[in-house]
Amino acid sequence: MGDVGITAALAARLVAEQFPQWAGLPVVPVESDGWDNRTFRLGDEMSVRLPSGPHYALQAEKEHRWLPVLAPSLPVSIPESLALGRPGDGFPWPWSVRRWLPGTTIASEPWSGSSGVARDLAGFLVALHAIDTDGGPRPGAHNFHRGGSLDVYDKESRAAIRRLGRAIDTQRAVALWEMATTTTWGGPAVWVHGDLTPSNLLGADGRLSAVIDFGACAVGDPACDLAVAWTAFAGDSRDAFLRGVDVDDDTRARARGWALWKALVTRVQGSAGAEAARLRFGWRWPADEVVEQLVGEVR
């Protein structure tokens, strides 16, 4: 189906058919939407999320199952799934109704890269990693292998490095990638968010207030979530974040690998596409600058 046919009118019809108690409430697109789902405001206190393609179709059911488990142990708000919709009216996948979370995405806020936000986010991850993982979903195609092995993206990353050629320091990029892929997580599997970018963080008054979009969550290696250190923070704030999560050098190396992979594949899309992706992800820098920062750390 793709997201071309996902409209406010479709969302309103699905709600009216399956949840008549909310029929008649206004349904309007949100100002800042994501890639995996199309989100609409439902009245004043709710939202409707519809997967934008088959790769994201399992996310609604997964979040409906696990968000209530995670929420009580976390220091900031996360989405609350109020209802799980079924396919209907030509829409082929499960979808969800959520409680509306106040706040704005921090991506465009001048304080988004502050040490205060960095410490808040580190505290969120420490709490997330401490939650019991019994029965939690393992990494796989359902979450694009976040929390799994970087080896899944080895061919893609090396091909991107070759394609970029002189546009980057290829020798250091390869060295960084090999440092990342020659280590493995030796600790117990922990909960990972899987898509920790500023566009999925809400804030108010200069502090983190909520983390949204757990569609890529899983139980595995925490390194994928630490890539945000290089896409959202720098200098003192990056140091504050990394001190807060307190991980070993090997995990930090894999975190750099996750950040490098994402920046490389974004960069090869071309300058215009890469800048559009930066804005959508909420990164503080274009992909080429993220790559430059990362390879600059290679000794």
For 78, the token pair is: 């996360």
Homologous superfamily of the 105-296 domain (CATH): Aminoglycoside phosphotransferase (APH), C-terminal lobe (3.90.1200.10)
Q: For residue 274, is pLDDT > 90?
A: no
pLDDT digits (tens, 9 = 90+) for 3-16: 558 999 999 999 99
Residue 248 confidence (pLDDT) above 80: yes
For residue 234, the model assigns a pLDDT of 93
Q: Is the pLDDT of residue 291 over 90?
A: yes
What's the mean pLDDT when you consider all of the chain? 92
In angstroms, the Cα distances linking 189 to 128, 148, 211, 236 are: 12, 10, 21, 29
Indicate the pairing of strand 207-211 with strand 201-204: antiparallel
Q: How many C-beta neighbours within 10 Å does residue 248 have?
A: 11
69 token code pair: 């488990």
Written as six digits, the tokens of 290 are 């993220």
Residue 54: burial class (beta carbons within 10 Å; 0-12, 13-18, 19+): exposed
Q: What are the domain boundaries of the chain?
A: 8-100, 105-296
DSSP states of 208-264 as a string?
Answer: EEEE---TT-EEE-GGGGGGHHHHT--HHHHHHHHHHHT--HHHHHHHHHHHHHHHH
Gap between the Cα atoms of 84 and 48, Å rounded: 10
CB neighbourhood size of 226 (10 A): 24
Architecture of the domain defined by 8-100: 2-Layer Sandwich (3.30)
CB neighbour list of residue 20: distance below 8 Å, 6 or more residues apart: none
**What mean pLDDT do residues 23-34 have?**
87
